[in-house]
Structure 1
Amino acid sequence: MVDSKKFNLTTDPWIKVVTTETNQEKKISLIELFENASRYQQLAGDMHSQDLALLRLLLAILTTVYSRVDANGEQYSWLDGDMSSPEDLEIDLDAFDDDDGEDTLFSTWGQLYHTGHFSSAVTDYLAGHAADFEFFGDRPFYQASTEDYDALVPENRKVAAGKGQVLVKQMNRRISESANTPDIFTPKSGDAKNKVSLDELVRWVITYQNFTGVTDKTKVVTEEKFSNSGGWIYRLNPVFAKGKTLFDTLMLNLVLVDTRQDSTEYALQQPVWEAKSVRDYVAQRKAQILPDNLSELYTTWSRLLHIEWQDGQPTILSAGIPTFAYEDALIEPMTTWKFDKKTNAYRPAGKSLRSLGIAMWRNFGQYVKVRREDDMHEPGIVIWLRALKQKQLIAHDAPLYLNSVALISDGNATSQSPAVEVVDDMALQADVLFDDELAERWPLRIEEVIETTQTIGNDYYHFATDIGKIRNLDTRTFANGMSAKFYERLNEPFKAWLGSLSGQDDRDAKINLWKATLEKIVVMAVDNDMQASSPRDVRGISDNHGQPLNIFTAKNHLMYNVRRDLNLKKE
C-alpha cells in the first residue's frame, strides 16, 4: 500500500471543466473550481453521468457552507456552536423563525447570485476540512481504511482475504465489464481497461457510489439480512437546471430552503465526510432512515470501498451497505415522480430501455404541474426555481434549461449493468414555466399542444402500419421504426418552439404556428418515404374492406386525419 502517496481533492487537479475564455478542457482542484466557477462553462468529465455525480458533490459542499453562514461569511443567528466543529453545531429553535429564517436563506442565495461568484467561506471550509478530502491516509476520501473495512465485513471477506474485488473496468461506467464477459465495444482494450490515472480514479469512485450495479456480493455485517442495492441516482429520472456558466448551474441547483408544502423543519447539513467515523456512518445507514438534509443525500454511499495499492495500481474491495427506501423520498430534488395508487406513495419515475426514444418534452407533465387538481408531484428543483421567481431572485424572462442525464441499466435484476446513457434538455422562459394565469396558463396550453402532437404521431403510426401492410412486412416492427424516426424529426423543432415562448405571447397564435410547422414536418416525412417507394407500393393491395390501399391512398388518409386533428383548413 502506498502510504506516502498524497492527493488532496481540495488542492490537486482532478475535476475536468471547459473554460469560457478558450473553450478548452482544463483540469482543476475543488478550491480552484469554487474560486473561478464563472470562468468555466460546464463540467467535462468522462461521461455526463459522471458530471451529474460530481455536480451533486459540489452542491453538497455549497449547501453545507451556506446553510451555516450568509454571503458575508457570518454564521446564522439560529446556530449555536463553532462552524469549524460541525459535530458541536446545534439549532436554537427559539432563535429560528420559519419565515425570517427562510427570508435570510433566500437573501444569502440572492446576494451570491447577483455578485456572480462564491464567497471566501467556501474555500475557508475546504481548507479547514482538507484532511477529509485526502484520497490516501487514515481516512481516505469516499473509502474505508483497512481497520474500518475489516471491522465491518464478515471474517472471510477481510482485506487480507482479497475477496469481493471490483475491477477498475467495472467501476469505469464507460466499460462496466465483468471479469467473465468481455465487452468488445469499449474505449479501451485488453489490460488497458484496468489501467487508470489517479484523477480519473477519483472521478470514477464518486460516480460508482452513485451508479452502482448489483454484481458484487460482499455486504457489511448486519443483524438482519439485506440485498445489495444499486446507486441512489441509478433508479431516478434525473433532472437539474443548467446555466450559461458552471457558477450559474451550481447556483440554480443550490436549494437552501425546503419549499415543499409538506417539508420538515430546518435541518443541519451532514455530508458523509463530516460523520464522526466510517463505522459511525455505516451504523446510521443500518437504520435505513432517509436523510433529512441534502448534503447527506447527495453524498450517500452505496458501497463501503477499500483500495489497496501495488505498483501504482489499485485493487478495490467493495461491500454493500443497507440503503433507505425510494418511496416518498421527496427530499430528493433531482427526479420526476409517479404516484403509486397501490401503495399510496410517490416513487421516482425512472427510465428504462423501453422509454429510450421518448424525449423530455413528451413527458412535460412530469416536470411541471399542469392541472392543479392532479396528484402529480413536481421535481424539487422545479419547485425551487418557482420559489426563486416568486422571490424575484431570477428575472421573469430568464431562460431556464431543464436537463436530464439518465444512465439506464440492462434491466437484469442480478447485474443492473449500464446499457445506455440518455441526455436531453428542455428550455423555457421562467414566466412560461411558472405562468399563473388561470384560463390561459402556458403549462396547460403546452400540455394540450403535446397531446395534439401525440395524436398526430398516432396518425403517422397508422400510416406506417399501412405501408408495412402494402410491403408485406412485420407491421408492428416497421411502424415502430418509422414512428421513432418521425419523433426524431419533431424533437429539435418542438424544443425550439418551446424556447421561443414568452409570457406576453398570444397563446393561440403561437400554438397555430406550431401546428403549421407540425403539418410541414408530416408532409416532409411522407415525401421522404415516398421517394423510396417501389412498384408494389404504387400498385398496392386491397385492405380488409376490399378497398385499394397503396402509398397514395395511405398518404391521402393520413393528411385527412392530420388536418382534422390539427383543425387546419384544407388549402
Structure 2
Amino acid sequence: MSERKFNLTTDPWIKVIVSDTNQELKVSLIDLFKNAHQYRQLAGEMRVQDLAIMRLLLAILTTVYSRFDTAGQLYDWLIKGTDQFGSDAKFDEDYDEEEIEEDTLTTWHELYQKGQFSNLVIEYLKYYSNRFDFFGKHPFYQATKEEYDSLVPANKAVAKGKGTVAIKQINRRVSESNNSPALFSPKAGEYKNEMPIDELVRWVITYQNYTGVTDKTKITASEKFSVSPGWLYKLNPVLISGKSIFETLMLNLVLYNQGEQKIALERPVWEFASAKAYISERQTGDLPDNLAELYTSWARVLHFEWSEVGQATIFSAGLPKIESTNAFIEPMTVWRQDDKTGKYRPAVRSLKTLSKSMWRNFSNYVNVQTANDTQEPGVIKWLRLLKENQLIIRNRLLTLVSIDLIDDGNATSQSPTTELYDDMSIDIGVLFDTNNVYYWPARIEQVIDLTQKIGQDFWIFARNLGKMRGFQKDGLTGFANQLSTQFYYGLNEPFKNWLASLTDEDKRDPKIIAWQNQLRNYAFNEGQKVVDTSSSRDIKGIITEHGLQNIFILMDQFKFNVNLDLKKGR
C-alpha cells in the first residue's frame, strides 16, 4: 500500500459557509486563516464539533500573537531562543505585566482594524506542518505504536488487540459502542464505521474534547486516577459570535489573562517533542498553565492501525481528569461558586436544566453589580478590557452563544444525549454600562426576576388546573412543568428581542415598563389558550374546601397574581 498522506495545513478538512454565496466549502488550515474574513461560520456535522475546531484555531492564534506582534517582531519582554517561532522563548525577568497587557492589546487592535490575520500565522503553520500530518512521523492528535505501547500496561499493547474504540463511537452523532446499539443513528449499521479522512479528523478533535468514561484501558500511572471525560464536556461553554469567522475568532482571542495566574509561554500540544513528552506532563491531571495547551488538551491517547484496504483500528487509553477548581485560565465557561468553600467550578448543565434558556441565567454571563465581585466568563472579561481601552466599537450588538453537549447523567458512562444551542444579543454599551445610578445589567436582572415570577404564577395556575383534573404527585408536577416549558418557550423570542433593543442611551424606566406591558399581555394570552382548550369538566369544576373551583376562577386568580406581581415590580 502506498504511503498515506493528509496534512491539515494544506488538505481541505474544515467545513465553512462562504459569506457571498452561502455555499458550504471545505478548506485547509492555511486557506482558513488566509480567508477567514470571507467565511461566515464553521459548518461541521455538529455545533459542538465547530466549537472544538474553533478552539484549535484559537490555540494557533493565541500561540502566534502571544509571542509576536502584527509586524512579526518578538515582543520586547520575551528573550528569543533557538526556535524561530519562539517555542523556547523565555520571559525577561524584569518584564512588566502592564507592558504585556499594552502590547497584546495593541496587537489585537491592529489585527481587528486590518480585518484579516497577518502572514505570520501561515508561516507558523508551514513551519510546524509535519505536526499536522494525520499519518506522519508525529501523527496529528495521536501516538505512534511504540509510544502507545510504552504508555499502557503490557496486556493492553497494540499487538494484544484490546482497548479499541470504533469510529461509530468517536462520531458523536452516533456515539455507539459495540455493546449498546444507537437506535436512531443518522447512519445505517453497515456504514457506521465508514468515514472519509477529513470527517475523521474533525471527529478526532471533537472526541478529545467530548469523551465519555466507558474506556477500560488507562495509561500506566503511579497512582490510581479518574479517567478524563474531555475538558469541553465538563464546561458550560459560552463564546462570542461575530459576522464572519475572522470576527468570531478575534472576539474570542484572549491574549492577556488579566492577572488570573502567572503568565506562561503558550504551548499547544504539537509543540511538545513527542506524544510521550506531552503525556508525561498531562498524566498529573494538573491544570495547564497556558491557554493553547488547554485548548488542545487530550482526554485520550489514541493510536490508529491502518489495514491494507484503509480501514482503521483505533486504540484508546484514558488520561487523568484535569482539575477544574478555580480554573480561571479557561475563558469559555460559566462559573458556579461553592457556598461552603467559596471556590468556583464550571457550571455544568444537565438534562434537568435543558428547558432553561440562556437569558434566564443572565447574571452567570454578565456582572450585574457595579462592583466587580462576581466571576464572569473570561471572554466577557476580555471584551470588557477591550471596551475600557476603546478598542472595540461602542454601539454594536454582541451575540453571546452557548453550545453544549449534555451527557446522560450516568457517572459510569457519561454518554451524549443531546446537543444544546442558545444565544442572546446585547449592545456593548448595555453589557458594559458604566452608569452606576442607572446600571443596565442590574435593571435587566430585576426584569428577569420579575419575568420568572410571572412564570411561577403560570406554573401555579397550571398546577391548580392539574389538581382540579385529578393528577397526583409526580403526574401533577409533570403536567405543570410541561405547560411551564411551553410558556417559557414562547417567551424566549420576545424577551431576546427586547434585550437586543436596549442601548445605554435609553431611559431605563420606559423600556422596562414597555416589557412589563408586553409580558402581561403574553401571560394573559397564554392563560386564555388554556381556557379555550378546556373540557366541559374544567368548566363545570369541582367543589373544594374553599368552594367552587373551575377554569374561569383559576384564570381570574392567575390574572390577579400577575397584576399584583407587576405592580410590585414597578
Instruction: Give the CA deviation at 1:530.
Output: 1.8
Following superposition, which runs of at least 4 residues in structure 1 exceed 6 angstroms of deviation? none
Structure 1 counterpart of 2:551:
551
Instruction: Give the CA deviation at 1:239.
Output: 0.3
Instruction: Give the CA deviation at 1:281.
Output: 0.8
Q: Distance in 2 between matches of 1:338 and 1:132?
A: 37
Instruction: Give the CA deviation at 1:370.
Output: 1.1
Matches within 5 A, 1:223-242: 223-242=222-241
Structure 2 counterpart of 1:214:
213
Counterpart contact for 1:165–1:318, Cα < 8 Å: yes
Q: Distance in 2 between matches of 1:382 and 1:85?
A: 29
Structure 2 counterpart of 1:446:
444
Deviates more, 1:157-166 or 1:519-528: 519-528
Q: Distance in 2 between matches of 1:251 and 1:274?
A: 23
Structure 2 counterpart of 1:291:
288
Counterpart contact for 2:33–2:122, Cα < 8 Å: yes
Instruction: Give the CA deviation at 1:280.
Output: 1.2
Secondary structure at 2:403 match in 1: strand
AA aligned to 1:33 is: L
AA aligned to 1:514 is: W
Structure 2 counterpart of 1:161:
160
Structure 1 counterpart of 2:55:
56
Counterpart contact for 2:531–2:555, Cα < 8 Å: no
Structure 1 counterpart of 2:200:
201
Instruction: Give the CA deviation at 1:373.
Output: 5.8
- 1:150 partnered with 2:149: yes
TM-aligned CA distance change 1:3 to 1:85, over 3 Å: farther
Deviations 1:135-161 (A, max 9, x none): 002210000001110111110111111
- 1:272 partnered with 2:269: yes
Instruction: Give the CA deviation at 1:568.
Output: 8.8
AA aligned to 1:340 is: D
Instruction: Give the CA deviation at 1:88.
Output: 2.7
Instruction: Give the CA deviation at 1:375.
Output: 5.4
Deviations 1:377-401 (A, max 9, x none): 1111110111111111111112111
Q: Distance in 2 between matches of 1:466 and 1:288?
A: 51
Q: Distance in 1 between matches of 2:97 and 2:246?
A: 28
Q: Distance in 2 between matches of 1:314 and 1:450?
A: 51
Counterpart contact for 2:229–2:321, Cα < 8 Å: no
Q: Distance in 2 between matches of 1:116 and 1:87?
A: 27
TM-aligned CA distance change 1:85 to 1:247, over 3 Å: closer
AA aligned to 1:558 is: F
Deviations 1:434-479 (A, max 9, x none): 1121121110000000000010001000110121122223321111
Matches within 5 A, 1:528-567: 528-543=529-544, 545-567=545-567
Counterpart contact for 1:457–1:483, Cα < 8 Å: yes
Counterpart contact for 1:3–1:137, Cα < 8 Å: no
Q: Distance in 2 between matches of 1:398 and 1:391?
A: 16
Counterpart contact for 1:497–1:514, Cα < 8 Å: yes
Instruction: Give the CA deviation at 1:287.
Output: 2.5
Instruction: Give the CA deviation at 1:279.
Output: 1.2
Instruction: Give the structure-2-normalised TM-score.
Output: 0.97
- 1:303 partnered with 2:277: no
AA aligned to 2:212 is: G
RMSD value over aligned CA atoms? 1.4
AA aligned to 1:25 is: E
Structure 1 counterpart of 2:67:
68
Q: Distance in 2 between matches of 1:235 and 1:542?
A: 51
Secondary structure at 2:333 match in 1: coil
Q: Distance in 1 between matches of 2:87 and 2:122?
A: 20
Instruction: Give the CA deviation at 1:91.
Output: 1.4
Q: Distance in 1 between matches of 2:549 and 2:429?
A: 48
Secondary structure at 1:548 match in 2: strand
Q: Distance in 2 between matches of 1:242 and 1:301?
A: 25
Q: Distance in 1 between matches of 2:302 and 2:501?
A: 48
Secondary structure at 1:218 match in 2: coil
Q: Distance in 1 between matches of 2:315 and 2:2?
A: 17
Q: Distance in 1 between matches of 2:33 and 2:238?
A: 23
Counterpart contact for 1:338–1:376, Cα < 8 Å: no
Matches within 5 A, 1:422-437: 422-437=420-435
Matches within 5 A, 1:480-499: 480-499=481-500
Q: Distance in 2 between matches of 1:194 and 1:116?
A: 41
Secondary structure at 1:466 match in 2: helix
Counterpart contact for 1:67–1:269, Cα < 8 Å: yes
Secondary structure at 2:306 match in 1: strand
Deviations 1:56-89 (A, max 9, x none): 0000000001011111111212222255354431
Q: Distance in 1 between matches of 2:70 and 2:424?
A: 31
Structure 1 counterpart of 2:174:
175
AA aligned to 1:127 is: K
Counterpart contact for 2:405–2:416, Cα < 8 Å: yes
Deviates more, 1:365-374 or 1:347-356: 365-374
Structure 2 counterpart of 1:420:
418
Matches within 5 A, 1:5-16: 5-16=4-15
Any stretches of 5+ residues in structure 2 without a counterpart? none
Counterpart contact for 2:52–2:205, Cα < 8 Å: yes
Instruction: Give the CA deviation at 1:278.
Output: 1.2
AA aligned to 1:487 is: Y
Q: Distance in 1 between matches of 2:100 and 2:319?
A: 35
- 1:25 partnered with 2:24: yes
Among residues 453, 459, 462, which one is paired with 1:461 in the alignment?
459
Deviations 1:331-373 (A, max 9, x none): 1000011111333311100100000000000000111111256
Q: Distance in 2 between matches of 1:80 and 1:100?
A: 15
Counterpart contact for 1:470–1:536, Cα < 8 Å: no
Counterpart contact for 1:144–1:306, Cα < 8 Å: yes
Secondary structure at 2:179 match in 1: coil
Q: Distance in 2 between matches of 1:549 and 1:379?
A: 48
Q: Distance in 2 between matches of 1:86 and 1:323?
A: 29
Structure 1 counterpart of 2:366:
368
Counterpart contact for 1:86–1:274, Cα < 8 Å: no
Counterpart contact for 1:10–1:130, Cα < 8 Å: yes
Q: Distance in 2 between matches of 1:137 and 1:117?
A: 30
Counterpart contact for 2:370–2:439, Cα < 8 Å: no
AA aligned to 2:104 is: L
AA aligned to 2:300 is: R
Q: Distance in 1 between matches of 2:373 and 2:536?
A: 53
AA aligned to 1:297 is: L
Secondary structure at 1:224 match in 2: coil
Structure 1 counterpart of 2:503:
502
AA aligned to 2:93 is: L
AA aligned to 2:26 is: K
Deviates more, 1:469-478 or 1:291-300: 469-478
